[in-house]
Amino acid sequence: MDPATAEIVTKRVASAPMFTWISTLVGLALGAFMGGLVGARVVQDRVVRVTSAIGLVLSLWALHTFYIVYPEVLWVPCSMLNSVLVFPYLGGRVLVRYQSRANLRESDT
C-alpha cells in the first residue's frame, strides 16, 4: 500500500474491521498507562510533568492517524488523543499511590 495515494488509503481505511481500531486503541491506552508508570518511577518528584510529556509525544501518533483517516473514522483519532492524554497520568498516579502506601506500611513497622 502506497500511503501517498489517497484513493488506496481511503479504501484501506474504509475496509478495516472494527476490531482493528479497537485493538489499536486498547494497545495505545495500555502503552500510555505503562509509559506513565515507568516515567513516574524514573522521575519520582515531577510526575505530572513527565506524564504530560509522554502524553504529548504519543499524541503525535494520534495526529498522524487523524491525517491518514480524516474523512472516514474520526472517532479513532479523537479516542486516541483522549487516551494518550489521560492514561499516562493515571499510570503515574497509580505508582505514586502505591509508593505512598508502601511508605506508610514501612513507617508503621
Q: Tell whether the model's pLDDT for residue 17 goes beyond 90.
A: no
Whether this model's pTM surpasses 0.85: no
Distance CA 22, CA 20 (A): 6
Higher-confidence position of 77 and 90: 90
Burial tier of 41 (Cβ tally within 10 Å: 0-12, 13-18, 19+): middle
Average pLDDT of every residue of the chain:
82
* Structural domain includes residue 18: yes
Whole-number pLDDT of residue 26: 92
Q: How confident is the model at residue 63 (pLDDT cuts 50, 70, 90)?
A: confident
H helices of 6-74, in order, are 6-15, 18-42, 47-69
In a domain, residue 20? The reply is yes
Domains of the chain: total: 1
Residues 52-56: contacts with CB under 8 Å, at least 24 apart: 52/88, 52/89, 54/88, 55/84, 55/85, 55/86, 55/87, 55/88, 55/89
Examine residue 73 and state whether it is found in any structural domain, yes or no: yes
